[in-house]
Amino acid sequence: MNGAGNAFAIFDAREKPFEPTKEQVVSVAEMMQADQVIAVERDAEKDAFMRIWNADGGEVPACGNASRCVAWLLLREGRGQGVSLQTRADRLKAWAAPGGEVSVDMGSPLLGWADIPLSEKMDVRGVDVKIGPMDAPYLSRPAVVSMGNPHAVFFVEDVHAYDIPAIGPLVEGHPIFPEGVNVGFAQIIDREAIRLRVWERGAGLTKACGTGACAALVCAARAGHTARRATLILDGGELEIHWRESDDHVLMTGPVELEATFDV
């Protein structure tokens, strides 16, 4: 499946356990050209537990677009208009949206430096990360936030003006991010639109990143660049992100696509 181009290999592990080695995850991701590998498992209290591995084989706690894809699969089983998912990061609620799209409540963004986490205390609205010459960096001071996984967001004038495959690994592995970081390049179109490209830790440059879109909107709204609701335009499609003021939760809505199914 894919969510706005964000590609997943999803295994139904509710009857047949799926417990891959790191090498097997890498092999599956390469064979299926997937950004993440997902296992849908039974959960005693929720509709399902969702386990997530990045393409490099590392297990991660959250993936927004995968949550929407798994929710779509569960909704097709006749579970009404809404489902609940448990991940390592949080409990998520998802529901059918108009036009065949799916919405998911990603919960509240984490804005404390230790929540990201950072290796030392600093202002999360602009951390001390620089790319380029020390006296004249061409990228610096990204805003950071956690959406169940860490994100650093650079605000740029043109997302296509940067060599993201070269820059992404430098920021992902920066010492200030002890658990690595997803790296967003956000171009503000207007108060209600952001053009976004994302380098995902353990996956590389992706066509879309759901948590990255949420992170970009939160950082943009905090900086006064946009309203709390905007369209995020990614390489693979568009996501509607709403950082709700009433309860601080971030809602994400967008398309899903079932590309193929296999019996394994």
Domain extent, residue 20, equals 2-106
Residues 235 and 142 in one domain: yes
User: Which DSSP string corresponds to 189-236?
Assistant: EETTEEEEEEEETTTEEES--HHHHHHHHHHHHHTTSS-SEEEEEETT
Does this model's pTM top 0.85?
yes
Q: For residue 142, is the peptide bond before it cis, meaning its omega torsion is within 30 degrees of 0?
A: no
Q: What pLDDT, on a 0 to 100 scale, did the predictor assign at position 44? A: 83
Total of domains in the chain: 2
Residue 169 sits in the same domain as residue 98: no
Q: Do residues 152 and 241 share a domain?
A: yes
Question: What are the residue numbers of the active site?
Answer: 63, 209
- Give domain status of residue 192, yes or no: yes
| Same-domain status, 152 and 246 | yes
In this structure, are 14 and 90 located in the same domain? yes
Planar angle of CA 187, 191, 197, nearest 5 degrees:
25
Per-residue pLDDT of the chain (264 residues; tens, 9 = 90+): 999 999 999 999 999 999 999 999 999 999 999 999 999 999 988 899 999 999 999 999 999 999 999 999 999 998 878 999 999 988 999 999 999 999 999 999 999 999 999 999 999 999 999 999 988 899 999 999 999 999 999 999 999 999 999 999 999 999 999 999 999 999 999 999 999 999 999 999 999 999 999 999 999 999 999 999 999 999 999 999 999 999 999 999 999 999 999 987
Residue 237 lies in a domain: yes
Distance CA 234, CA 109 (A): 20
